[in-house]
Amino acid sequence: MEARGETPKVTIFDDAEEVARAAAERFVELAQSATAKRGRFAVALSGGSTPKRTYELLAGDDYKDRVDWPKVHVFFGDERMVPPDDAESNYRMASEAMLSCLSIPPENVHRINGLGDSVANARLYEDELRTFFNNDGWPSFDLVLLGMGDDGHTASLFPGTRALDERDAWVAANWVEKLKAYRVTLTAPAINRAAHIIFLVTGANKATPLSEVLKGEPDTRRLPSQLIKPLDGSLEWLVDKAAAAGL
């Protein structure tokens, strides 16, 4: 699969708050354009801690009235195998920071089940995506938001794990040995079909992996974030000065 998308655009901001504002701004622009053109906006949210502030901003006075929320469909890039009210749940974070404060119909929130068998949960999620995207070869998200771990992982595509080799599945149950846990994750080929992909990366602990991912030799088993290369879409990295120290 050769990426035909544009060259990644890296924008460096003073601090994490500026990154969060820029991400909220891009979210709003992309949501407005997708809802105007296609009557809906399909976004996959990232988990972890970095996007929380963006979600809070989107639900706050500066942004919330700029999006036609009933036309937004929310998906998740990955999920931990925990109940939806668990402190570790990506759904819970997004729900508390944003979704519960907005007029998104509950049926537009497509969460990954974290209870029970992870392989079955991955299949169910892929079925849900296939129904939504009319089983159309690959999903075509309008936006996928991603974070990056300090080991170079993104979504739940961790270094050395099996899901890195997925070529056909949209969703995988991925055993992560260092966490001694399964995660359910979108696969790289599914993410790479998105119209827009935005990484949010902040903090000094991300400086070395960020420079390796962006400027180092290709080594996707060690640095899975390098697998993210949109086929036809755009890839943006919104990073703060601390994370950009090695660029």
Binding site for ligand 6PG (CB under 6 A): 46-50, 77-78, 90, 147-149, 153-155
Q: Report, in Å, the least distance between residue 231 CB and ligand 6PG.
A: 21
Q: Which is nearer to ligand 6PG, 92 or 193 (CB)?
A: 92
Distance of CA 178 to the CA centre of its chain: 21
Q: Which is nearer to ligand 6PG, 28 or 94 (CB)?
A: 94
| Closest by CA position to 45, among listed 195, 177, 186 | 186
Q: Report, in Å, the least distance between residue 224 CB and ligand 6PG.
A: 9
| Closest by CA position to 188, among listed 243, 228, 145 | 228
- Tokens 């846990």, located at residue: 181
Q: Which is nearer to ligand 6PG, 16 or 34 (CB)?
A: 16
Q: Which is nearer to ligand 6PG, 108 or 154 (CB)?
A: 154
Q: Report, in Å, the least distance between residue 78 CB and ligand 6PG.
A: 5
SS3 171: strand
Quick one: which H or E segment has residue 52? Answer: helix 52-58
Q: Are the C-beta atoms of 121 and 114 separated by less than 8 Å?
A: yes
Q: Report, in Å, the least distance between residue 175 CB and ligand 6PG.
A: 15
SS3 88: coil
Q: Which is nearer to ligand 6PG, 159 or 233 (CB)?
A: 159
Strands (E), 72-207: 72-76, 78-80, 143-147, 171-176, 181-186, 196-201
Q: Report, in Å, the least distance between residue 153 CB and ligand 6PG.
A: 6
